[in-house]
Amino acid sequence: MSTMSELRQRYSGLQARGLKLDMSRGKPSPTQLDLSAGLLDIPSGPLSLYDDPDGSKTDMRNYGGLAGIKPMRGLAADFLEVDPDEVIVGGNSSLSMMYDTINFALHFGVPGGTGPWGKIPSARFLCVVPGYDRHFAICEEFGISMINVGMDESGPLMDDVEKLVSDEKVVGMWIVPRYSNPSGQVFSDEVICRLASMQTGTDFRLFCDDAYRVHHLTKSPRKQKNMFEAFQQEGNLDKLLLFASTSKITHAGAGVGMMAASERNLEWYLKHKGYSTIGPDKINQLRHYIFLRSMDRIHALMDQHADLLLPKFQAVQTVLDRELGSSDLATWSRPEGGYFVSLDTKPRLAGKVVALAAEAGVKLTPAGATFPYGADPNDSNIRIAPSFPSVEEIEQAMEVLAVCIMLATAGQTG
């Protein structure tokens, strides 16, 4: 063994080399990663496999990058009209970001809140109805009670909302602000301002699923107030969680989810998310960035989607108009975007109509699915999803639907 002074000397010599090595994590080397080059087939372009958020040259193929890659966060910021620091991009599902947020809130509480939601007796959510079944299902799974709030053509009935959210037990509310699922409303600027300024408890979070933000069926989409800015101006940004994804822009099952929120909320989210994963699939984010690149390209792509969707939505209207237009048997939406037509039969008939249609070989969304607990108090709402079938199939199905409505109504009154 060397003497103490020899060691000190040697150590000083090593110090003097000024090394900067990271031996701390078990990460494969770039050469190892090159072995799988065949897995990757991104069109070559100006963007390399390296992201450079902080000069650290993150390798897109390796671990890390919990908040997502810089170029895709930039595009998501343009998409949601927020700053890049105010948005993170994740895996293939924005639903899972919503689920995670509620799960974290149940275990740990939200920033500035009263504590874990799981310990708040009878914590509850407001649910604008009709709405999206997967939102309501998360609450039901976790035992969070749900309160229905109705809508008119401007969005949720804000007098009711304002009264209900003043209860501190109301910790959240689900909305789809543009082309609402299923009824197609574009929330008015007044509704957005009232949402942004309403009085709530400190736990409250507005879960804003902006799933159809650019999914127009018209060449001149209605302008809508920037919700993020509205909350910011009111000093209520911590109350807003804004979600979206590319699922209905690129590939439904292999897109990129995104979430915009206050810095405080994002920090909180990432802190807890970091226990479940080292990071999202950055290669898929890169692929999306290269493919989409700019809002101009996204809008051009969405125009192509609209060209395909419009004849289908028109087919729904044409057949329903022809079959039911001169009667009072049903009312239905004429959406300017989104993915659904919402139809209301007379009370207590939707279940019967759906069952009749099923027996005629037409599977519709189960009656009640658009309401919490699958329970439509009027049993009248039916969600029509025309995007997948062909125009001819839609025409046939709508005819079946119209006839079932007529039949069920007649059966009830006759």
Q: Which of residues 173-232 bind its own copies (CB under 8 A)?
A: 181
Nearest to 270 by CA among 65, 27, 4, 20: 65
* Binding residues among 301-360 for its own copies as defined by CB under 8 A: 301, 304-305, 308-309, 312, 327, 339-340, 356, 359-360
At its nearest, how many Å lie between its own copies and the CB of residue 166?
Answer: 29
At its nearest, how many Å lie between its own copies and the CB of residue 99?
Answer: 4
* Binding residues among 92-121 for its own copies as defined by CB under 8 A: 92-93, 95-96, 99-100, 103, 106-107, 118
Q: 315 with 331: CB under 8 angstroms?
A: no
At its nearest, how many Å lie between its own copies and the CB of residue 132?
Answer: 9
Build a one-symbol-per-residue string for 16-55: x at contacts with its own copies by CB under 8 A, - elsewhere.
-xxxxxxxxxxxxx-xxx-xx-xxxxxx------------
Residue closer to its own copies (CB basis): 205 or 312: 312
Nearest to 309 by CA among 187, 184, 177, 222: 184
Build a one-symbol-per-residue string for 53-82: x at contacts with its own copies by CB under 8 A, - elsewhere.
-------xxxxxx-----------------
* Binding residues among 120-149 for its own copies as defined by CB under 8 A: 134, 137-138, 141-142
The rounded distance, in Å, linking the Cα atoms of 266 and 87 is 8
* Binding residues among 228-257 for its own copies as defined by CB under 8 A: 247-254
The residues, any chain, with a CB within 8 Å of residue 412's CB and separated by 6 or more, are 346, 348, 349, 352
Candidates 204, 362, 379, 381; binder of its own copies (CB under 8 A) is 362
Nearest to 238 by CA among 126, 118, 111: 111
Q: 289 with 75: CB under 8 angstroms?
A: yes
At its nearest, how many Å lie between its own copies and the CB of residue 412?
Answer: 12
Residue closer to its own copies (CB basis): 151 or 316: 316
* Structure tokens, 109: 């509480």
At its nearest, how many Å lie between its own copies and the CB of residue 186?
Answer: 17
Q: Kindly tell me the burial class for residue 388, based on how many C-beta atoms sit within 10 Å of its own C-beta (0-12, 13-18, 19 or more).
A: exposed
The rounded distance, in Å, linking the Cα atoms of 192 and 223 is 12
Cα-atom radius of gyration of the chain, to the nearest Å? 26
* Interface stretch with its own copies, choices 157-165, 198-206, 233-241, 406-414 (CB under 8 A): 406-414
Cα distance between the two ends of the chain: 104
Q: 363 with 353: CB under 8 angstroms?
A: no
